[in-house]
Amino acid sequence: MNKYFLLIALLASTVNLSAQQTTSNQKKVAALLAKMTLEEKVGQMTQITLGVVGTQVDGEINQEALKNAVVKHSVGSILNVTNHALTVDQWHNLLTKIADEAKTTRLKIPVLYGLDAIHGQTYTLDATLFPQNIGMAATRNIQLAKAITKVTANELRASGVRWNFATVLDCGRQPLWSRFPETYGEDVFIGKTMGAAVIKAYEEDGLDKTTAVASCMKHFLGYSASRNGKDRTPIYLPEIEMREYYLPQFKEAVKAGASSVMINSSIVNGIPVHASKYLLTDILRKELGFNGVAVSDWEDIKRVYTWHHVASSPREAVAMCVNAGVDMSMVPYDFTFYDLLIDAVHKKEVSVQRIDEAVSRILMLKMKLGLFDNPYPEESAKANFGKPEYQTLALDAAHEAMTLLKNQDEVLPLSKNKKYLVAGPGAQSISALNGCWSYTWQGKDEQWYPKDSKTILQTIEDKVGKSNVVTTTEKGFEGIKNFDGDALIKSAKDVDCIILCLGENAYAESPGNIADLALDENQQALAKAAISTGKPIILVLTEGRPRFITNIEPKMNGILMAYWSGKKTAEAIADVLFGDYNPNGRLPYSYPRSSGEIVLYDRKPAEDIREVFNDDIHTGYNPLFAFGTGLSYTTFAYSDLKLSTKNLVGDEKLHVSVTVSNTGKIAGKHTVELYTRDLYASISPDMKRLRAFEKIDLKPGESKTVKFSIDKNDLAFVNAKLNTVTEPGEFTVMIGDLMESFQYK
């Protein structure tokens, strides 16, 4: 049995909410709703940040402020931390005080608490952090993604929190975007399959169980398609593109049972998504069939007035967004939404029926989560926090994320009997290994990381001994010594190789906005200093998005992409560099060569062509490293690609098989990817699309036949009438260096 299957089974068993339970909850919600005043209903739709009811001391409650929020304003939800992560006991104490206060209200409706636990339980000290989504996409391992999700759910619930604002389903097709590391990369198929699996893993045990939490699809819809790459900036997205590349992930997540959705902060084609009835009601509710809670993002209903200027007053903004389909407002600092919505109802700008609809969804979620039965943190859930096996899983995930991009003359793996210079700002930075949402929002404050967290420098010293390692670095990413090129040149004289650690320090959301994908000048200068020594250089990249390295890549002997891979990133890096782990990650995006050539792998034929004097030259897709790149210390060969038929008809399945052999000298994991191409269609077809993948493990000399099944739905596209169709014609199946064609009729 796959060990991740086993771990998932051990963490929890699958228990689905029965139809009988659902009916019972619906009756309870209806009965409760009938007793509620308008003020109590609108309070349920109000979400505030912890700072409103807390003090300047993290984890402390201002009892008077709490009473004002919960008793006077009937708030339905609280989120966030004041500054940094808390201990499990601090969470239990805080949440108990909130539950106690809710018990004093007329109807005793519990408060639902929510956090952004996007790569582990972000906001509990010593919780286990795993790779960011972009690193998990590199693993191409669905079962591994589910296993780490189960741990996140366990550690959230152990903290007393039952609502997680995860996972991000935005398609990462704009590499400048500061939330790119939270995505599963540029491919739709990886995004929808891994995303849906994660959503299901959060919830499938049953929301009333201590191994599950309510998930949240983020951010509906098109958030990542920012025209200028800045966070929360305008998006211009033709609907045909929206439906082809950005909607499928949410469609699958709805099918997987997502309990909630968070709305895109920006505007799409000039309309704030929070105020778009077309997107939030017509598509999300009616077309996709979503019936969970729709929550705004941070302060975004206010911004319909203050930023976007489509509402002429704050009250009009509230009315527009609630009427469009927002059920809960992340206000988050005050009670203006509460006051304005009550006023809007009195003025008949929002109907009571719409209020009841929103509140019913919120109450139903609280029912499913068992909050009405027990609104307090569950003492028994504490046993699921910090288990030793979680650290093993974190290392497994970091290992499988590691993506080897270059290995010139087989310079890797390195010998443990030579001397090394470890340089660069990433060498002694913990935050640059974890990235955003890591015990603090930005992830930069290293005092909150677990005390046993290791740096790249430490793990290399562990491999070869401190006497064989020289460094020119200091702790933290921004330290001046980290960028001293002269010191690097001097220190390199007596070493055999330079391990150069470059990339990005942690950032989240708008603070991560950049104007250029180029590495900063200090890092470029450091790389040039390393090149000037004439020593072999291994470049280790810890970054959330692809920063340009085109000018230094030719002089790098080896390049390892480590992403932001969580608690065990440094250990995984050292294991790969010194041959104790055979890398098997694959790039989940096309690593661009230059700003003028950001072309995605599933490009249109015309994007592939650069016309020169009427000659069509196919150089349009010319990234530094292509989507799917990922080297190994062994070699794999493909043979015997077979299709079950050359003529696929109607709803029939096309069965595809291929033999994969490990032709090298060591064991290795390998992801087999199946792509298709539609040669001609009514809409210019993509050059290739990933349709299936499977990760296998092969010993030296071992071969395995990998089988896939696809059908017309896997070949479909969105046509000019915005319908998803499969047109008759010729298709090509591509696996590795092999291809076969068939006709669809």
CATH, residue 438:
3.40.50.1700
Same domain, 370 and 424: no
- Whether residues 655 and 687 share a domain: the answer is yes
Judge whether residue 16 has pLDDT over 70.
no
* 8 Å CB contact between 600 and 186: yes
Of 355, 384, 413, the position where a domain reaches its end is: 384
Sheet of 636-643, strands arranged across = 636-643, 654-662, 703-710
State how far the alpha carbon of 94 is from the alpha carbons of 29, 87, 113, 380, in Å. 27, 11, 11, 17
- Is 430 inside a domain boundary? yes
**Residue written as token pair 């490009």:** 603
DSSP state of 285: I
Over range 166-191, report the average pLDDT. 97
* Enclosing H/E stretch for 329: strand 329-330
Q: Are 196 and 293 found together in one domain? A: yes
Specify the pLDDT at position 11.
45
564 and 709, same domain (yes or no): no
pLDDT (average), residues 441-467: 98
Claim to verify: residue 372 and residue 433 sit in the same structural domain: no
**pLDDT tens digit sequence for 51-88:** 999 998 999 999 999 999 999 999 999 999 999 999 99
Backbone φ, ψ for residue 121 (5° rounding): -75, 85
CATH code of the domain covering residue 173:
3.20.20.300
Task: Say whether both 356 and 486 belong to one domain.
Answer: no
Q: Are 223 and 266 in contact (CB under 8 A)?
A: yes
CB-based contact 664:634 (threshold 8 Å) = yes
Domain total of the chain: 3
Q: How confident is the model at residue 12 (pLDDT cuts 50, 70, 90)?
A: very low
Whether 18 is in a domain gets the answer: no
Report the CATH number at residue 705: 2.60.40.10
- Among residues 116, 126, 187, 297, the one annotated as catalytic is 297
pLDDT digits 0-9 by tens, 405-437: 999 999 999 999 999 999 999 999 999 999 999
- Whether 364 and 429 share a structural domain: no
Query: What stretches of 237-280 adopt beta strand conformation (E)?
Result: 260-263, 267-268, 271-272
Indicate whether 606 belongs to any domain. no
Report the distance separating Cα 304 and Cα 272, nearest Å: 7
| Residues listed for the chain | 745
Give 567-625 pLDDT, tens digit per residue: 999 999 999 999 999 999 999 999 999 988 899 999 999 998 888 777 778 788 999 99
Residue ending a domain, choose from 326, 351, 384: 384
Q: Is the pLDDT of residue 335 over 90?
A: yes
631 falls within a domain = no
Same domain as 355, residue 455: no
248, pLDDT greater than 80: yes
Nearest to 604 by CA among 684, 495, 699, 667: 684
**Given CA atoms 344, 350, 351, 355 in this order, what sign does their dihedral have?**
negative
Question: Which residue, of 560, 577, 594, is where some domain finishes?
Answer: 577
Catalytic site includes residue 520: no
Q: Do 249 and 162 belong to one domain?
A: yes
Residue 439 domain flag = yes
Burial per residue of 124-145, b for 16 or more beta-carbon CB atoms within 10 angstroms, e otherwise: bbbbbbbbbbbbbbbbbbbbbb
Return left, alpha or beta for 566; rule: phi > 0 is left, psi -120 to 50 is alpha, else beta. left
Q: Is residue 101 part of a domain?
A: yes
Is pLDDT above 90 for 733? Answer: yes
In-domain check, residue 597: no
Range of the domain at 356: 3-7+36-384
Backbone dihedral region for residue 300 (phi beyond 0: left; psi -120 to 50: alpha; all else: beta): alpha
**Is 175 inside a domain boundary?**
yes
Q: What is the DSSP letter of 415?
A: P
Q: What is the largest CA-CA distance in the chain?
A: 80
- C-alpha–C-alpha distance, residues 245 and 78, integer Å: 33
Residue 15 has what pLDDT? 38
- Same domain (yes/no): 562, 663: no
Query: Residue 168 has what DSSP assignment?
Result: B
Tokens of 618: 């196919």
- pTM of the predicted protein model: 0.95
Please measure the distance between the N-terminal and C-terminal CA atoms of the chain and give it in whole angstroms. 39
